[in-house]
Amino acid sequence: MLRTQVAIIGGGPAGLLLSHMLHLAGIDSIVLERQSRDHVLQRIRAGVLESGTIKLLRDVGLGERMDREGHVHDGAWIAWEDRPLFLIDTRKFTGRQMMAFGQTAITEELYRIRTRNGGQVIDEAKNVELHDIAGDKPYVTFAHNGVEQRLDCGIIAGCDGFHGVSRRSIPASVQRTFERTYAFGWLGVMSEAAPLNEIMYAHHSRGFALASQRSPTLSRYYIQCDLGTDVAEWPDEKFWNELKRRFPQDVADRIVEGPVIEKSIAPLRSFVSEPMRHGRLFLAGDAAHIVPPTGAKGLNLAVSDVFFLHRALEAWFKRGESRYLDLYSDMALRRVWSAERISWHLTQLLHVFPDEDPFGRRMHLNEFDYLRSSNAAQAALAEQYVGLPFED
């Protein structure tokens, strides 16, 4: 039998960051990850960090590569068809900036620092099951290299994403779920070519598009696509042509078409499961919530959940104080719902909804024109886009 203070289910950014931050607090954890390390590190996910995430990564010793390879931004641009370019100017209205730095690189850094610090991350842990989460002696069973194992612990952190086992271990009688699905997805491309200098969203009658980046030689682009689209329908040349049609000509002329090294379709979903705690089980990250990527909030929410949870666990294990544990779910959910709302709002504003009538399209156009004309509206959007503060 294995024993630890905190059993962490899932070795994505939430699980690995929690394990690292608990280590810094002198609290022992073991991470159980279903996939191989290579599989986890091959995922292409988030790319833009809120100011709170940037600060936290620096504070916990994970800022060196981010500051070396990341690209700081004063906000993000919106290219609206037949309108001048508009900057969500987070620096002007909040004094804070964003950072373009890929989730994959963050996960690589987390694996590196956990290995350096002797962290226990068990890859390819199969058939994970949670037990006695409502009691005071929870434990986890799993299979590793064909051997059934048991991990006794004080706390279980469910960091196993949307399709994980943790959320499903909470009795339906105490669970409330909220969901909105969208009639389109994002076709994403990673290209070995210099990106635009800016992070730029585009609203066009043909559909939404986004130009982003991972490094000075790696570009990340997305176009809105119909649900059920097959990637095979989008050869590179067709993608590049459509992407450029959705940006103003002077922007499209700056887009460099490089070799495409990854192409995939991500569905868009808004989802929240309440509460984020049941007994000794605490959910963090995508295990508890999903946001459409329009607001670049998914990874950043995982970070703020982990900040709240690590603070609660440190108070409990080190000082026997349960206040932050008892407050965890409500506190995390306040920030989750703020991110859900702004992500939903930006998705509504920037995408073309197939069933929208001409009145609805005029509403969106007027909202964008109002945003461009109002400092108050721009300040409100900027503070939400750069990331609301973490509650004390």
Active site residue 385: yes
Q: What share of the chain is helix, strand, coil (3-state, %, to 5)?
A: 40, 30, 30
**Min separation Cβ 237 and ligand FAS, Å:** 24
Contact 99, 72 (CB under 8 A): yes
**Min separation Cβ 103 and ligand FAS, Å:** 5
Structure letter (DSSP) for residue 9: E
Query: Can you tell me the distance from the alpha carbon of 353 to that of 356, in angstroms, rounded to the nearest whole number?
Result: 5
Among 4, 6, 13, 167, binds ligand FAS (CB under 6 A): 13
Active site residue 73: yes
| Cα dist from 285 to 3, 103, 304, whole Å | 24, 13, 9
Query: 299 touches which of ligand PHB, ligand FAS, none (CB within 5 to 8 A by kind)?
Result: ligand FAS
Active site residue 324: no
Contact 159, 12 (CB under 8 A): yes
In the region spanning residues 122 to 181, those forming contacts with ligand FAS, defined by CB under 6 A, are 125, 128, 159-161, 163-165
Active site residue 292: no
Query: Can you tell me the distance from the alpha carbon of 33 to that of 88, in angstroms, rounded to the nearest whole number?
Result: 37
Minimum CB distance to ligand FAS smaller for 271 or for 353: 271
Among 296, 336, 350, 382, binds ligand PHB (CB under 6 A): 296
**Min separation Cβ 229 and ligand FAS, Å:** 14
Query: Can you tell me the distance from the alpha carbon of 127 to that of 334, in angstroms, rounded to the nearest whole number?
Result: 32
Listed in sequence order, the residues at least 6 apart from 309 whose beta carbon sits closer than 8 Å to its beta carbon are 18, 157, 282, 284, 328, 332
Binding segment for ligand FAS (CB under 6 A), chosen from 41-49, 115-123, 143-151, 239-247, is: 41-49
299 binds ligand FAS (CB under 6 A): yes
DSSP string, 108-174: HHHHHHHHHTT-EEETT-EEEEEE-TTSSS-EEEEEETTEEEEEE-SEEEE---TTSSTGGGS-GGG
332 binds ligand FAS (CB under 6 A): no
Minimum CB distance to ligand PHB smaller for 51 or for 212: 212
Minimum CB distance to ligand FAS smaller for 204 or for 214: 214
220 binds ligand PHB (CB under 6 A): yes
Q: What φ, ψ does residue 166 adopt, rounded to 5°?
A: -65, -55
Query: Can you tell me the distance from the alpha carbon of 345 to that of 365, in angstroms, rounded to the nearest whole number?
Result: 14
Structure letter (DSSP) for residue 353: P
Query: 220 touches which of ligand PHB, ligand FAS, none (CB within 5 to 8 A by kind)?
Result: ligand PHB
10 binds ligand PHB (CB under 6 A): no
Binding segment for ligand PHB (CB under 6 A), chosen from 9-17, 44-52, 149-157, 235-243, is: 44-52
The residue length of the chain stands at 392
Query: 160 touches which of ligand PHB, ligand FAS, none (CB within 5 to 8 A by kind)?
Result: ligand FAS
274 binds ligand FAS (CB under 6 A): no
Bridge-based pairing state of the strands 139-144 and 260-274 = unpaired
Give me the residues that bind ligand FAS (CB under 6 A), please. 9-15, 32-35, 40, 45-47, 103, 125, 128, 159-161, 163-165, 266, 285-286, 293, 296-299, 302
Active site residues: 73, 201, 293, 297, 385
